[in-house]
Amino acid sequence: MNKQFMIDRQLTHEVVVGAFVLMFLLGLGIFTIVISKQRIFVPTYKITVRFDDVMGLRTGDEVAVRGMTVGKVRRMELTPTGVLVYAVLDVPVRMKKNYKISIVSSSVLGGSYMQINEGSGEEVLKDIYEGTTPHDIMSDAADVANALKKSLVEGNVLKNLEEITEQFKQIAARLNEGQSTLGKLLSKDEKLYKDIEDTVASIKQIVERVDKGEGLLGKLVSRDSKFYDDLSTTANSLREITDRIKSGEGFVGKIIKDDSLYNELKQTLKEARGAIDEVRESTPLVTFTSIFFGAF
């Protein structure tokens, strides 16, 4: 009786412990599934992609289509022709003729994911799809830095910058010494400043005089139109005289228009000049005769 009781009690104890362990393992499995976001009893779709370089892609990284997470990377295998990436998708993805599969950095701090672009055109079915070679941001940045360093050193950029800096120093020194117009303006000597100030004052006085109507320019720009009217009248008179001369009116106009009158006037002047010359030649003889007969 006591022996049978002890056996039953031990058996009950073992069953309770086994049930507790089973429940613990079941809870642990459910917790693991929830944490890993695994979908149980849901159909999945496998895809295999070959890359020349996976750029730090790891098992468990996400697979995205049009920016939406649709699966995860299950495993990767290194082969002589590249790296085979085996991924499991939650939704079917139909690859088209110009599809593109690439590895993209998730952030500047690190991490990557596989990006799938289905493309367009006719559907393409393959056992292994070809992925594009990813770009390493750090490697590209290093290449850019090296290229920049090379251009700075071999392209004499640093030397040119040094020469420009030296020229700026020379210009600053000249300005500080008061050389050139700008240097004189910045100099402690106020002579140029005073000269400019006096010039500005003189210009101001001239402007004030012009504004008051003083001087010829002042009268021209004055609001009083008398001087302007007089000048305009004079100009009109001169224009009328010029028009009359062009029309052949008056003595000057006839001289300009009529060539015969000009020729006659020219002939008259020529004859008058000849008469004057004859008088000059006979003047000494007349003077001598007058003196001789005047003595008697």
Tell me the average pLDDT across 40-62: 86
Average pLDDT for 69-95: 92
Residue 107 shares a structural domain with residue 69: yes
Cα–Cα distance, 115 to 136 (Å, whole number): 15
Higher pLDDT, 290 or 245: 245
Cβ neighbour number for residue 85 with a 10 Å cutoff: 26
Residue type at 227 in one-letter notation? F
Q: In a 3-state reduction of DSSP, which class is residue 149?
A: helix
What does the pLDDT average to over 99-107?
87
Residue 168 lies in a domain: no
Six token digits for residue 134 = 């990813």
Domain ends where: 91, 115, 136? 136
Dihedral of the alpha carbons of 217, 220, 226, 228, in degrees to the nearest 10: 130
Q: Based on the fold, state whether residues 131 and 70 are members of the same structural domain.
A: yes
Does 61 fall in a domain? yes
Are 50 and 128 members of one domain?
Answer: yes
* The token pair that represents 31 in the structure block: 């917790």
Phi/psi at 80 (nearest 5 deg)? -65, -25
Token pair listed for 247: 């029309």
Same domain, 64 and 131: yes
Q: Token pair of 103, please?
A: 């590895």
pLDDT band at 288 (very low <50, low <70, confident <90, very high): very low
Query: Cβ distance 63 to 144 under 8 Å?
Result: no
Residue 37 domain-assigned (yes or no) = no
End residue of a domain, out of 96, 113, 136: 136
Residues 44, 89: contact at Cβ < 8 Å? Answer: yes
Q: At 16, which helix (H) or strand (E)? A: helix 2-36
- Which tokens in the block code for residue 130? 């070809």
Do residue 49 and residue 132 come from a single domain?
A: yes
As given in the structure block, the two tokens for residue 85 are: 């990436």
Average pLDDT in the chain: 76
Higher pLDDT, 121 or 241: 121
Q: 214-225: per-residue pLDDT in tens?
A: 666 666 666 666
Do both 67 and 106 map to the same domain? yes
Q: Does residue 17 lie within any of the structural domains?
A: yes
For residues 216 and 234, give the distance between their C-alpha atoms in angstroms, rounded to a whole number: 16
| Same domain assignment for residues 80 and 122 | yes
Q: Which residues pair with 50 in a beta bridge?
A: 84, 130
In a domain, 78, yes or no: yes
Strand intervals (E) in the chain:
45-51, 62-65, 68-79, 82-89, 100-105, 112-117, 129-130
Q: What is the distance between the alpha carbons of residues 294 and 287, in angstroms, rounded to a whole number?
A: 11
Q: How confident is the model at residue 183 (pLDDT cuts 50, 70, 90)?
A: low
Residue 272 is predicted with a pLDDT of 77
Non-local (6+) Cβ contacts of 129 within 8 A are 47, 48, 49, 50, 95, 99, 101
Residue after which a domain boundary falls, among 136, 169, 187 = 136
The reply to whether 13 falls in a domain is yes
Cα end-to-end span (Å), the chain: 216
Cα–Cα distance, 264 to 259 (Å, whole number): 9
pLDDT at residue 152 above 50?
A: yes
The per-residue pLDDT for 259 is 67
Clarify whether residues 6 and 56 are in a common domain: no
Question: Does residue 288 lie within any of the structural domains?
Answer: no
User: Each residue of 184-230: pLDDT tens digit?
Assistant: 666 666 676 677 777 888 888 887 777 776 666 666 666 666 666 77
Task: Kindly tell me if the per-residue pLDDT of 296 is higher than 50.
Answer: no
110 in any annotated domain: yes
Does one domain contain both 28 and 60? no
Q: Are residues 130 and 58 in the same domain?
A: yes
Domain span at residue 55?
45-136
Residue 34 pLDDT: 63
Give the residue with greater pLDDT, 289 vs 13.
Answer: 13
Give tens-digit pLDDT for 161-172: 777 888 777 777
Q: How many domains does the chain have?
A: 2
CB-based burial label for 241 (10 Å; 0-12, 13-18, 19+): middle
